[in-house]
Structure 1
Amino acid sequence: MPKRKGGGYRAPKHYLPRDAKPSKHRPGGAGGAGRFDRDRRDASDGIDGSAPGTGLGTARDRGRPAPARDARDTPRRDKRGTPRRDERGTPRNVESRNVRSDGPRDGTTEGRLRVGNVVGQPSPRRGRPDDVVPERLEATAITPELAEGVTFEDLGFGVRIVEALASLGATAPFPIQVATIPDALAGRDVLARGRTGSGKTIAFGSAIVERLLVTRPREERGKRVVGRPPRGLIIAPTRELALQIDRTVRPIARSVGLFTTQVYGGVPQQRQVGGLRRGVDIVIGTPGRIEDLHRQGHLDLSSIEVTVLDEADLMCDLGFLDSMQRILRIVRRGGQRMLFSATLDAAVRSLVAEFLVHPAVHEVAGEASDHADIEHRVLVVERGDRDAVLRQLAAAGGRVLVFARTKLGAEQLAQRLDDGGVPAIALHGDLSQERRSRNLEKFANGRADVLVATDVAARGIHVDDIDLVIQADAPDEYKTYLHRAGRTGRAGRRGTVVTLIPPNRQRRMAELLGRAEVDAPVVPARAGGRELDEFAR
């Protein structure tokens, strides 16, 4: 075999100790230990300045100075003499971005609110699960007494908006409306925590219409200006909820000459693009479709004056936190923001800290506790009796909403109820938009008394007279329990929440109820048992 012209391999001297000797593998220095015969390096290697097991020695042994490791040393520099890191240790090639600003907005001296586990305080439970302890807000408590004797005229609405609200069945304001509407009409940012069915939609829907009416030129009222960018934006987690919000806000807006449209995924966007081109005042949509239309140039967000986030906690749970942050950074700086949420977890707190300026904070009193209009029960059922107990509960009469954990589970459970003589329909994300709308309309109109739904799909249900909520699959988090329970006991009506659990889940369920501050008796149950007779209507 011919020799290489460059000669043999010569190992770099700085990798070898001074007493290295030639070997058959490395003519110029010590042979390296094989894969199986090299010394094992344990956790104490290198602590005392040695490097046992490596055969290499330390940097000082190799005749080179050890690199500076002290935090007080000057940072290393590149070839141009520029420090690789700044004084805070941030790499120079990484551009730091301010996630939030404490500076003034539109010439004001107001700074941004810092939010922790208690609004206005740092969280003492960093690193712990969000659902460990119910959050506490430094908020104005909203009690039923707050709305006694108050009318919508007293809140600052004109005759047309009051008449539109009356046509929707809202003849007198709910407590959350009395608390939040004056702050919203004054232009303040609003943070409100209230369960589903507390009247949030009318609260922010009527307020955004009144705010945009005041700032719109009088000569443009009642007219569509082709290509006019929207000035109001309402973001919702699901298309069903977006449609429901539009059904509430549209008649209020039309009563004063404003126009709305909705944008959401799951359907072709051509019709939605056409609605935007005709010119609208308020856009109601889901985060994904809003971002898509903005990216394509169909939706101009630069003129947005008022932004509303409804069900903010659910949007975070669905993975829309980044999308909401991007949208809020695009809309006009200095605009008004309103955030409504049933719970205030870490993700929602991050939105509050970055985008709300000294918000008016309101919390419906007793939201996390045993609500006076809702009775809670937990039934311990053997797995073999689950379907029979569920059929007996669902057939007891009244309008019943059953929660299942998965889309497949909801479909199968509805089918088993139907096969067992209890007519039921399903509502979940795998259904087409047409079928989802049809099933939801059947349940809302009373043509179907039993609806089996997933948590996400149920957010689009706006039915005030649900008598019984059955959790066929127990929730994993306390906030999910509160969201589900909020589907009954609405608009002053009474309701019942029944949760079915197997015997081995009693301890976990007790912990969840404690976090939700719900007092619910836990009793064993079986099909045909007397403990189920009281649910018959």
Structure 2
Amino acid sequence: MTTTTTPTNFTSLGIISPLLARLTELEYQLPTPIQARVIPSILAQRDLIAGANTGSGKTAAFALPLLQQIHTEKQLTSKNTQGNYVTGLILVPTRELAKQVADSIKSYALHFNGMIKTVAVFGGVSANTQMQALRGGTDILVATPGRLLDLISSNAIKLDRVKTLVLDEADRMLSLGFTDELSTLLALLPKKKQILLFSATFPEEVQTLTQELLHNPVEIQLQSADASTLVQRVFTVNRGNKTALLAHLIKQHQWRQALIFVNSKNSCNHLAEKLSKRGIAAEVFHGDKGQAARSRVLDAFKAGEIEVLIATDIAARGLDIEKLPVVINFDLPRSPSDYMHRIGRSGRAGEVGLALSLIDHDDFHHFNVIEKKNKICLEREQVVGFEVDDIIKDKFPAADKPMAKPEGSGKKKRKNKTLVNADIWLRNS
């Protein structure tokens, strides 16, 4: 797989003038490494598997060439496309990501003057409204699988004319939870089509499945922990002191914003109540909230109107929150790959970010698994006043000594310049 690349300019990638004009307005000066590598392959009609760190510009990497392909084809054909068709289908795992991706595509397409129609469909809102939006078909459809199947069963849309299929957050889309839905959708697609898979992580079990879906794909892998601007830290704490430590850190560092991950809807509400008693206002974001409420909370958080947001893993995938200073794992994610997606909400687009994990004795083994699967090795630290009890301290690696490196983790770990700069930033934040 490809591991390095040199960014070039968008013109040399073959991007057409209406898109170039919009990129200039959006102040996209140079393509990111993933954009520089994948755009030529997509324009060449190749199937693709692309992995890159979160915040690396994957949406633009597939949106720009997809828009260009559709625009070029519309110019070459004189007949108007009719019926409930779809040309480009983008499947995503969450409602919020569907809306975000569709909004980005509409923004990139501004100078096509309405020539390319983009629609997002997802659950939690009226299907009738979405059916009306799909009348006459659509050039690009961004969808969650469940709602798309509902619309297909209502004859609101057909997939027999899809030319490009994109799986965004592909590892999640190919996981067990989406297997049946995805299999049904794939059976409705034409045999001849371009398939593009994008994700920050591709676990081994997913890699095997991708080879069955794609034809002679280009494989590009650009994840790089050394180049990351995200600092990861782990604090050990007694189980009963987790909330107190969290409140202490929030007050001490006075972060502009903090995104805190827990593993259940009830945990969101309970933690928000506990922080409230300690003088910290927090909003919650989970699947039990209606779609309107979820959109309101997320929009307010993106706008900086909410300082502390407690969320389940529905906030871990793909969401772009500009310059988010810190992500905190109050509960460790169940899946090691979800750890990387969670922490990737900070340190995006070259911004320095911080990812903290608070682990107690019960979390010790699971965090070892997370480290091994993700080929990372993090020092265990303690916060003064919240030290681990002596009777269980020997269960943790010494706070002033790094753990033994997990197998396959590569070069000896060193404290690089990014880490030093981030430590200074953290103290001054």
User: TM class by shorter-chain length?
Assistant: 0.7 to 0.9
Say whether the 8 Å CA contact 1:468–1:495 is kept in structure 2: yes
Distance 1:444 1:169, change over 3 A: farther
Following superposition, the deviation at residue 244 of structure 1 comes to 0.3
Partner residue, 2:391? none
Say whether the 8 Å CA contact 2:50–2:219 is kept in structure 1: yes
Distance 1:187 1:460, change over 3 A: closer
Query: 1:417-432 alignment to 2 at 5 Å?
Result: 417-432=275-290
2:332 to 474, 482, 493: 474
Following superposition, the deviation at residue 394 of structure 1 comes to 2.4
Partner residue, 1:249? 105
Partner residue, 1:192? 50
Distance 1:228 1:165, change over 3 A: farther
Say whether the 8 Å CA contact 2:167–2:198 is kept in structure 1: yes
Following superposition, the deviation at residue 267 of structure 1 comes to 1.5
- CA deviation vs aligned residue, 1:398-449 (integer Å, no higher than 9, x gap): 3211111111111221232233222221111111111110110111011112
Q: Helix, strand or coil: the match of 2:309?
A: strand
- CA deviation vs aligned residue, 1:261-296 (integer Å, no higher than 9, x gap): 011112120011111114321111101111221122
Partner residue, 2:267? 409
Partner residue, 1:446? 304
Partner residue, 2:2? 140
Partner residue, 1:293? 151
Kindly tell me the number of residue pairs found equivalent between the two proteins.
Answer: 390
Distance 1:255 1:318, change over 3 A: farther
Tell me how far apart the structure 2 counterparts of residues 535 and 408 of structure 1 sit (CA, whole Å).
Answer: 33
Tell me how far apart the structure 1 counterparts of residues 98 and 38 of structure 2 sit (CA, whole Å).
Answer: 21
- CA deviation vs aligned residue, 1:3-36 (integer Å, no higher than 9, x gap): xxxxxxxxxxxxxxxxxxxxxxxxxxxxxxxxxx
Following superposition, the deviation at residue 246 of structure 1 comes to 0.6
Say whether the 8 Å CA contact 2:263–2:313 is kept in structure 1: yes
Partner residue, 2:214? 356
Q: Helix, strand or coil: the match of 2:86?
A: coil
Say whether the 8 Å CA contact 1:306–1:336 is kept in structure 2: yes
1:227 is aligned to 2:83 = yes
Distance 1:296 1:204, change over 3 A: same
Query: 1:210-289 alignment to 2 at 5 Å?
Result: 210-218=68-76, 227=83, 229-256=85-112, 257-289=115-147
Partner residue, 2:319? 461
Task: Specify the code of the residue in structure 1 equivalent to 2:89.
Answer: L
Following superposition, the deviation at residue 458 of structure 1 comes to 3.4
Partner residue, 1:379? 235
Q: Helix, strand or coil: the match of 2:109?
A: helix
Say whether the 8 Å CA contact 2:241–2:386 is kept in structure 1: no
- CA deviation vs aligned residue, 1:333-353 (integer Å, no higher than 9, x gap): 211110112222355335412
Say whether the 8 Å CA contact 1:379–1:500 is kept in structure 2: yes
Say whether the 8 Å CA contact 2:15–2:68 is kept in structure 1: yes
Tell me how far apart the structure 1 counterparts of residues 27 and 283 of structure 2 sit (CA, whole Å).
Answer: 27
Task: Specify the code of the residue in structure 1 equivalent to 2:103.
Answer: R
Identity percentage over the alignment?
34
Distance 1:347 1:328, change over 3 A: farther
Q: Helix, strand or coil: the match of 1:361?
A: strand
- Give the gaps of 5 or more residues in structure 2: 388-398, 400-422
Query: 1:31-430 alignment to 2 at 5 Å?
Result: 139-143=1-5, 146-147=6-7, 150-218=8-76, 227=83, 229-256=85-112, 257-317=115-175, 319-345=177-203, 348-366=206-224, 369=225, 371-395=227-251, 396=253, 397-430=255-288
Q: Helix, strand or coil: the match of 1:451?
A: strand
Distance 1:417 1:220, change over 3 A: farther
Task: Specify the code of the residue in structure 2 equivalent to 1:468.
Answer: V
Following superposition, the deviation at residue 391 of structure 1 comes to 1.0
Task: Specify the code of the residue in structure 1 equivalent to 2:216.
Answer: H
Following superposition, the deviation at residue 506 of structure 1 comes to 2.8
Q: Helix, strand or coil: the match of 1:281?
A: strand
Tell me how far apart the structure 1 counterparts of residues 332 and 176 of structure 2 sit (CA, whole Å).
Answer: 19
Tell me how far apart the structure 2 counterparts of residues 250 and 453 of structure 1 sit (CA, whole Å).
Answer: 28
Tell me how far apart the structure 2 counterparts of residues 288 and 475 of structure 1 sit (CA, whole Å).
Answer: 24
Following superposition, the deviation at residue 504 of structure 1 comes to 4.2
Q: TM-score, normalised by structure 2?
A: 0.85
Greater relative contact order, per chain length (Cα 8 Å cut-off, separation 6+)? 2
Superposed CA RMSD in Å reads 2.3
Q: Helix, strand or coil: the match of 1:469?
A: strand
Distance 1:425 1:375, change over 3 A: same
Task: Specify the code of the residue in structure 2 equivalent to 1:189.
Answer: D
Q: Helix, strand or coil: the match of 1:499?
A: strand
Say whether the 8 Å CA contact 2:99–2:120 is kept in structure 1: yes
Say whether the 8 Å CA contact 1:316–1:348 is kept in structure 2: yes
Q: Helix, strand or coil: the match of 2:69?
A: helix
- Give the gaps of 5 or more residues in structure 1: 1-138
Q: TM-score, normalised by structure 1?
A: 0.68
Say whether the 8 Å CA contact 1:233–1:284 is kept in structure 2: yes
Q: Which has the larger radius of gyration?
A: 1
- CA deviation vs aligned residue, 1:240-259 (integer Å, no higher than 9, x gap): 00000011001223422211
Say whether the 8 Å CA contact 2:89–2:166 is kept in structure 1: yes
Tell me how far apart the structure 2 counterparts of residues 297 and 389 of structure 1 sit (CA, whole Å).
Answer: 53
